[in-house]
Amino acid sequence: MKVKFYYNHPLNIDITTDKDVAVYIDRFPVKVIPGGSIRIIILEEACRDDLVLLANKYPSKYTYLLTYRDSLLETNNKARFFHCINTWVKGYVSPWKRFSVSTVVGGKRMANMEGYAVRHELWRNRGRIEVVRHFYLSGHYKWKGANYDNELVLGDSKTPLFDSQYHIAIENTSMNNYFTEKLIDCFQTLTVPIYYGAENIGEF
């Protein structure tokens, strides 16, 4: 039987099971669970407070809730601790590191995610950093003007970030248990992270 995944688009994967299984990643089902089936919700993004409210309001619409959020783990008897961690760096061969610090700043701003503001504040004060720095603007954002005074623009690959010995990794928000590829990519590439994010990161 195929397990149906609902993310940005439906995806069917063959897994041996005699149950009808559906997995929703950062999405919430509309209908009540059909009899004899299993429905799993995975909360990945920290910004989806709307899904937290739905999960608490409609527990009959899922079998398990996989999450890292303390508020759900403490109060929701269907919640199980889970981290949906990945990496954006593949096949990286670490060179001799440059004694420098790197980071990347995008154009997004989200009022309820303070990490965006922290990145922009770091960008505005980049001239005060005395060690060699390689600060990049995200190539996924259409910047006004030409590279902001010839600053570096990161392409589709993140690997240039990790040629530096140190990397400033700023999560979108500081929340217990919440860490992403921003940190994992540093470990993948033997780069020392200067980290803003999960206050309890030492537990992991």
User: What pLDDT, on the 0 to 100 scale, is given for residue 89?
Assistant: 87
Return all residues near 63 (Cβ < 8 A) that are at least 6 apart.
Answer: 33, 38, 39, 40, 78
Cβ proximity of 64 and 41 under 8 Å: yes
Nearest to 103 by CA among 70, 129, 141, 73: 129
Determine if the pTM surpasses 0.85.
no
CA distance 204 to 195: 14
CA distance 167 to 188: 12
Residue for token pair 């240039």: 160
CA distance 142 to 160: 20
User: What pLDDT, on the 0 to 100 scale, is given for residue 122?
Assistant: 94
pLDDT in tens, the chain (204 residues): 556 666 655 555 556 677 788 889 899 988 888 877 889 999 988 988 999 999 999 999 999 999 999 999 999 999 999 987 888 888 888 778 999 999 999 877 777 889 999 999 999 999 999 999 999 988 765 554 444 556 777 877 888 999 999 999 999 999 999 999 999 999 999 999 999 999 999 999
Return all residues near 37 (Cβ < 8 A) that are at least 6 apart.
Answer: 19, 20, 21, 22
Cβ proximity of 160 and 134 under 8 Å: yes
Residue 162 phi, psi dihedral angles, 5° rounding: -100, 10
What are 76's two structure tokens?
């929701």
User: What pLDDT, on the 0 to 100 scale, is given for residue 15?
Assistant: 61
How far apart, in Å, do the first and last CA atoms of the chain sit?
Answer: 35
Residue for token pair 């995975």: 42
Domains and CATH numbers, the chain: 2-81 (no CATH), 98-203 (3.40.50.11660)
Q: What is the amino acid identity at position 162?
A: F
DSSP state letters, 37-91:
EEEEEE---TT-HHHHHHHHH-GGG-SEEEE--HHHHHH-TTEEE------S--S
User: What pLDDT, on the 0 to 100 scale, is given for residue 157?
Assistant: 84
User: What pLDDT, on the 0 to 100 scale, is given for residue 145?
Assistant: 45
